[in-house]
Amino acid sequence: MAIGKHIKEHKILGIATEKWVETYVDELFDSWDWQESVIDIVNALPANPSDGDRYIVSSGTYDEYIAEFDTTISGWDYAQPDEGFACWVEDENRVYVYNDQHPAGEWSYMGNFMNHNLLMNLAVGDVHTQYTYHSGRAGGQDIYGGTGAGESLNLYATTGAGGQIYNWDDTTVSGNLEVTGNLGVDGHVEIEQTLEVDGNADFDGDVEIGGDLNFNEGGPITTDTNGSLSIIPDGYGNTAVHLEDELQAMLVGNSTPVGTFTNCTVGAASAIIQHADIDTGTAVGDCVQVCSGTGVTTGFYRLITVGANQVTVDRNVSGAGGADIICKVYRDVIAFHATDGTNGNWIRGFSHQDKPLQIGGDELAATGHSLGGEDVLFGGKTEFNDAAYFDGAIDFDSSLTIKTTEIDDTDSPYSLLTTDYLLFVDTTNGAVTIDLPSAQVLDGRKIEIKDSGGNFSVNNCIITPQAELIDGNANLVINADYAAVELVSDGSNWFTL
């Protein structure tokens, strides 16, 4: 099957009427070093070839070589390709050319290796194997990539800062997008499937991604203060990630805002945001994102009250009084805040029903204590392996179980542990001394000692601090049967209650 016949057939099919075939590809055809056609490109040569069978080898010692079977030697002849070698691959019905430059040392099929002048100077309606270009349509300009075999559209940038593909504005990619180099986005971009970037990504606008987000080089994602990045892994909107203000905060939950409000103002109180429509569809407990505005503090705020044409949030927004504030309102999301440099990190729940953030449990539970959106509900058992501090009241709806420790004379002297609270002491067979280490002298630390054997009058229980005192004394001797003593520390000494 002669290679020249296939070239002629391509022109008869009408491809020659395209400008790119007539002016660009014909010149390439003339400069190539044409070889006899090959049957296929294979990793391993067939075991029972016929005389004259030819293949391109794609692995092993003769990787990229042309192999031809010769019955006179009962073996294969190998020819190393030179720059510009071209041949027809019969099983694939297309031309392959050996190119040292793109990519280095590989056979590339026609259309895969040509840059078509970086997709510039294309005529409206150009249709090729790799892309279709439209211009001047009401919906904007489209480039459709990929082939019938399902390959993606790959963009290779050689101009711009750092080889960047940039200056996209309001673009939709219907399939996968793979970028070799850096990716910069100036406007709204929606990618319905997978985005894969080998370098850095810089987004100045909103980005919606319907599939996986892959950064092969571990490059950063950056957005400006007015932009956002939303990732929706499935088609149901069940999970979303929204990154705000250069990743200092992140929302997980519903990706679509209840509303986006521009030209907002700050009311007489700095925690009031005013807009003609901001009271429509919003509710107490929602998340208000202050995106930008003169003199405002951008970030996530909790909606406290909804009034006519205004909402009140949980803290001051500040602002210089100008009508340039941009806000978005989200419902049923969880916010993750990076450290503010002073108080550490922060996790908050924003519920459209003004319900608490639940941690744990097999299902969402109703609160029995009128907890609101700023509160936390533990849906299952909670274990603290170290100290727990409560600055407010503690309300137990069920029994309280405390840790108990049993000791006797065989444990004496017993050194109090940080995990000890109630000590049952049995002195039936001998007195018991309990040492209180200085490390246990913490403000509010409380312990209880109980005579469990009823023998403290015969064999005393002696409580001995280190350098501290108990009610002003160096130790405390308990000598009443079945006595119980509570000790509490003020951080310096111990006292009985």
Tokens of 88: 């027809």
pLDDT of residue 177: 67
pLDDT (mean) for 221-237: 49
pLDDT of residue 488: 93
pLDDT in tens, 313-332: 999 988 666 788 988 898 88
Q: Decide which of 388 and 274 is more confident.
A: 274
pLDDT of residue 182: 63
Non-local CB neighbours of 457 within 8 Å, separated by 6+ positions: 479, 480, 481
pLDDT (mean) for 70-80: 93
Longest dimension (CA), the chain: 117
Res. 258 pLDDT band, cuts 50 70 90: confident
Give which of 473, 422, 432, 435 is closest to 456, Cα–Cα: 432
Tokens of 216: 């092969």
- In this prediction the pTM is 0.49
Q: CA 488, CA 51: separation in Å to the nearest integer?
A: 98
| 179 contacts 199 by C-beta, under 8 angstroms | yes
Q: Decide which of 109 and 25 is more confident.
A: 109
pLDDT of residue 335: 84
Give which of 363, 365, 332, 362 is closest to 349, Cα–Cα: 332
Q: CA 51, CA 69: separation in Å to the nearest integer?
A: 6
pLDDT (mean) for 168-180: 59
pLDDT in tens, 446-477: 999 999 999 999 999 999 999 899 999 999 99
pLDDT in tens, 376-421: 888 888 888 877 788 888 877 777 788 899 999 999 999 999 889 9
Q: Calculate what percentage of the chain has a pLDDT beyond 90.
A: 32
pLDDT above 90 for 295: no
pLDDT, averaged across the chain: 75
CA angle 59, 60, 61 (to 5 degrees): 130
pLDDT of residue 259: 87
Q: Is 71 helix (H, G, I), strand (E, B) or coil?
A: coil
Q: Calculate what percentage of the chain has a pLDDT beyond 70.
A: 63
pLDDT of residue 75: 93
* Per-range mean pLDDT, top range of 49-58, 118-127, 291-300, 383-392: 49-58
Q: Is the dihedral of CA 304, 294, 338, 224 positive or negative?
A: positive
pLDDT above 50 for 375: yes
Res. 277 pLDDT band, cuts 50 70 90: very high
Q: Decide which of 340 and 332 is more confident.
A: 332
Non-local CB neighbours of 62 within 8 Å, separated by 6+ positions: 78
Q: CA 84, CA 370: separation in Å to the nearest integer?
A: 78
| 193 contacts 208 by C-beta, under 8 angstroms | no
pLDDT above 60 for 22: no
pLDDT of residue 300: 86
What type of residue is 48? N
Question: For 324-328, 335-339, 345-349, which range has the lowest pLDDT when averaged over its residues?
Answer: 335-339
pLDDT of residue 193: 65
CA angle 167, 172, 173 (to 5 degrees): 100
Q: Is the dihedral of CA 42, 44, 50, 55 positive or negative?
A: positive
pLDDT of residue 119: 44
Q: Decide which of 96 and 253 is more confident.
A: 96
Tokens of 445: 């630390």
pLDDT (mean) for 227-238: 48
pLDDT in tens, 123-132: 555 555 444 4
pLDDT above 60 for 495: yes
pLDDT of residue 174: 60
Task: For the chain, give percent helix, strand, coil, nearest 5.
Answer: 5, 40, 55
Q: Is 434 helix (H, G, I), strand (E, B) or coil?
A: strand
pLDDT above 90 for 56: yes
Q: CA 230, CA 208: separation in Å to the nearest integer?
A: 5
Tokens of 46: 């067939």
| 110 contacts 128 by C-beta, under 8 angstroms | no
* CA 133 vs CA 122, 126, 127, 157, 372: distances in Å: 8, 6, 7, 18, 54
